[in-house]
Amino acid sequence: MIRRYVIGNPIETDSVVKVISPESGIVPYFQTLDKEKALTLPMSKWDKVFGLGETVRGINKRGFKYISNCKDDNSHTEDKNSLYAAQNFFVYYGKEQCFGMYVDTPGKVCFDIGDTDINVFSIVFEDFDSNIYVIDGDSILDIVKQFRGIIGKSYIPPKWAFGFGQSRWGYKSAQDVRDVVNNYEALDMPLDAVYLDIDYMERYKDFTVNSETFPDFKGFVKEMKDKGIHLVPIIDAGVKIEEGYDVYEEGVKEGYFVKKENGENLVAAVWPGRVHFPDFLNEKTRKWFGDKYKVLLDMGIDGFWNDMNEPAIFYTEDNLRDVFEEIKKYEGKNLDITSFFRFQGIVEGLQNNPEDFKRFYHEYKGKRYRHDKVHNLYGFNMTRAAGESFERNSPDKKILMFSRASYIGMHRYAGVWTGDNQTWWSHLLMNIQQMPALNMCGFLYCGADVGGFWGDTTEDLLMRWTEFAIFTPLFRNHSLRDTRNQEYYRFTDKEGFRNLLRLRYALIPYLYLEFVKAAENDEMLFKPLCFEYPDDEMCYETEDQLFMGDNIMLAPIYKQNATGRYVYLPEDMKMVRFRSFEDYDEEVMQKGIHFVRAELNELLVFIRKGKSLPLAKPANRTGDIDETDLTYIKY
């Protein structure tokens, strides 16, 4: 049962597609504190909270506060309250009460889950106005399914997007991309896509291609397609200010960009230098910007990733001017340490300054809103612009699309990747723990930068990460320029990596079937153990294992130098230790705790009783997999 409660005068977000008439009473379970703009709930010692999508920390979110405020923060340490997403759905699971809640408001909201007071859950709003959906059900999975039923079906990408994609910020030319593809081919390693980061553009201008480094782009796309390789270019939110650039000129002429209070277009700076931001909340702008993707679709492109759409801002022109003024005050003074740090902070504070979000406005559903009031809808609507345009311009062909910033509702148009992680073991664990929370919020096509984005990866980390990532729908190795190159062919155990990539391709029939089932039935692909076994206390303690689809459980190794791990089996299972798709051993194991061994090049899959794991003969492209020729490992 789902009930809707209205607080104040909420801004419509289009995240819920089912019409639910509002209740007259006050929000149940919580106490409403009007003056504090908060909802509070005392928590019993045992009570747990699950969900909130892409956030830091573990699967049970208790013990920290999470602030929905889409943020370009490239250091995902565990003290960070906000990452790129705003996904305000959670399930409260206590001994006394159990319910789901979706807090639908486009502004800033803080979920303080036993942070300020270990026994209190409070939801604190910047603006109290919101739609609150309360979901009662028989189990966590039932609540999730009901919630998913009101937000619309999850995006399903084209099948090739389940293949492996190689990416790097730093592939500078068609020749660089060719080299990557040739290296994979030379080692007979599977690959379906190569991603193009901002380097492919002409001076970082959206919907342009650098004609010196990528001469005859259309021909190059075809050359790659003939080899079965899809190129996936990035699109950024900011539009470069440059005379003669059509996107800029049309946007100015038609008034498609966000404006300041005085009516001038906001000037900010991102990679292209000075930019204007399209007003994606405005339907007309969405249509216009969405149609621009056609420039690349017409060249044969069939996939995109949307970046910098929180939006990320290096600085705004107005703030820069103020900062220069401010700095002058310090000139020639003998700075004491306090004023020195203040001085230093002034310049550092230019980037992603929250005050800048109060400088500009949107035209949204016939009204004008200051950006900070609708901030969390920006990336969603950029990606929606693309998704709606694909429906118009490419109705018969599925297009790959995923985004960095997100809000619930965007899951109907695209997936997400989890942004700039680090080459840390803890971020492999975070990847494992984020997947089910994202699924709860409708985001099924997801993945992290495999191997880690920032920093130099190591062979063992990349291998362990890959052993998990071959089960994630988006499977992409991506990294930052000037870090160690991390394409799989560069490492010592080439055979080990080849085996893992091939195992991914052998798994694609299972992965795809389970994905489509989850999308069509509003279910989760990755499930924490306790979602299936709510009466088994050990399952709550086990936050580093997941059910994946209906048939298997994963227990990834995410620790340096580990050659095994403790695994908890909530039921009898058959363990399969894979060295490759055809070299594995099987062992039936009893419910309980076991220490299981897995060398660096070995990975563990646990098959549930009465189920089986189908494996195809691997191919080097998704399209070449023979789905009629499957081997089943059965228990």
Distance CA 415, CA 519 (A): 12
Residue with tokens 């991390």: 486
CA diameter of the chain = 78
By beta-carbon proximity to ligand MIG, the closer residue of 448 and 604 is: 448
Distance CA 315, CA 634 (A): 57
Pairwise CA distance, residues 57 & 78, whole Å: 6
Question: What is the per-residue binding string for ligand MIG in 87-106, x denoting contact by CB under 6 A?
Answer: --------------------
Count of residues that interact with ligand MIG, criterion CB under 6 A: 10
Binding residues among 577-616 for ligand MIG as defined by CB under 6 A = none
The yes or no reply on residue 169 touching ligand MIG (CB under 6 A) is yes
Regarding 206 and contact with ligand MIG (CB under 6 A), the answer is no
For the CB of residue 478, give the shortest distance to ligand MIG in the complex, in Å: 6
> From the CB of 198, what's the least distance to ligand MIG, in Å?
4
* Identified binder of ligand MIG from the candidate list 47, 54, 127, 197, rule CB under 6 A: 197
Contacts 24+ apart (CB under 8 A), 366-369: 369/11, 369/281
- Give min distance, CB of 307 to ligand MIG, in A: 5
Residue nearest to ligand MIG (CB): 169
172 or 577: whose CB is closer to ligand MIG? 172
CB of 109 to ligand MIG, least distance (A): 24
CB of 304 to ligand MIG, least distance (A): 13
Site for ligand MIG contains 310 (CB under 6 A): no
Q: Which is nearer to ligand MIG, 404 or 427 (CB)?
A: 404
Query: Which residues in 365-497 belong to E strands, given as ranges?
Result: 367-370, 400-403, 406-407, 415-417, 446-447, 449-450, 475-477
Is the distance from CB of 371 to CB of 358 less than 8 angstroms? Answer: yes
Binding track, positions 504-543, relative to ligand MIG; x by CB under 6 A: ----------------------------------------
Closer CB to ligand MIG, 71 or 527, in the complex: 71
Give min distance, CB of 200 to ligand MIG, in A. 10
Local structure of 348: helix, strand or coil: helix
Shorter beta-carbon distance to ligand MIG: residue 276 or 404: 404
- Residue 269 makes contact with ligand MIG by CB under 6 A: no
- Which residues, numbered 484-503, are part of the site for ligand MIG (CB under 6 A)? none
Distance CA 39, CA 492 (A): 55
Contact with ligand MIG (CB under 6 A): which of 356, 363, 420, 602?
A: 420
Question: Using CB under 6 A as the criterion, what x/- string covers residues 238-267 for binding ligand MIG?
Answer: ------------------------------
- Alpha-carbon distance of 415 to 394, in angstroms, equals 18
CB of 197 to ligand MIG, least distance (A): 5
Quick check: 475 and 469 in contact, CB under 8 A?
yes
CA–CA dist 376, 358 (Å, integer) = 13
Measured from the CB of residue 165, what is the shortest distance to ligand MIG in angstroms?
A: 12
Q: How far is the CB of 56 from ligand MIG (least distance, A)?
A: 16
Distance CA 98, CA 135 (A): 9
What minimum distance in Å lies between the beta carbon of 426 and ligand MIG?
A: 19
Helix (H) or strand (E) holding 291: helix 283-297
DSSP per residue over 23-58, as a string? PSSPPSSSEEETTTTEEEEE--TT-EEEE-SS-SS-
Among 228, 233, 419, 528, binds ligand MIG (CB under 6 A): 419
Closest CA to 488 of 469, 513, 509: 469
Q: Does 54 bind ligand MIG (CB under 6 A)?
A: no
Least CB distance from residue 308 to ligand MIG, whole Å?
A: 6
- Buried b / exposed e along 231-246 (16+ C-beta atoms within 10 A): bbbbbbbbbbbbeebe
Q: Are 544 and 562 in contact (CB under 8 A)?
A: no
228 is a site residue for ligand MIG (CB under 6 A): no
Q: Min. distance of Cβ 584 from ligand MIG in angstroms?
A: 34
134 vs 514: CA distance, rounded Å? 28
- Please say which residue, 420 or 543, places its beta carbon nearer to ligand MIG: 420
Out of 52, 198, 385, 430, point to the residue binding ligand MIG (CB under 6 A): 198
Binds ligand MIG (CB under 6 A): choice among 104, 192, 307, 372: 307
Q: Which residues of 604-623 are buried (b: 16+ CB within 10 A; e: fewer)?
A: bbbbbeebbbbbbebbbbbe
- d(C-alpha 44, C-alpha 115), whole Å: 14
Q: Is 275 helix (H, G, I), strand (E, B) or coil?
A: strand
Indicate the DSSP class of residue 287: H
Residues 332 and 363: their CA atoms lie apart, in Å, by 45
We find the least distance from the C-beta atom of residue 268 to ligand MIG, in angstroms, to be 13
Asked whether position 404 contacts ligand MIG by CB under 6 A, the answer is yes
Contact residues toward ligand MIG (CB under 6 A) are 169, 197-198, 234, 307-308, 404, 419-420, 478
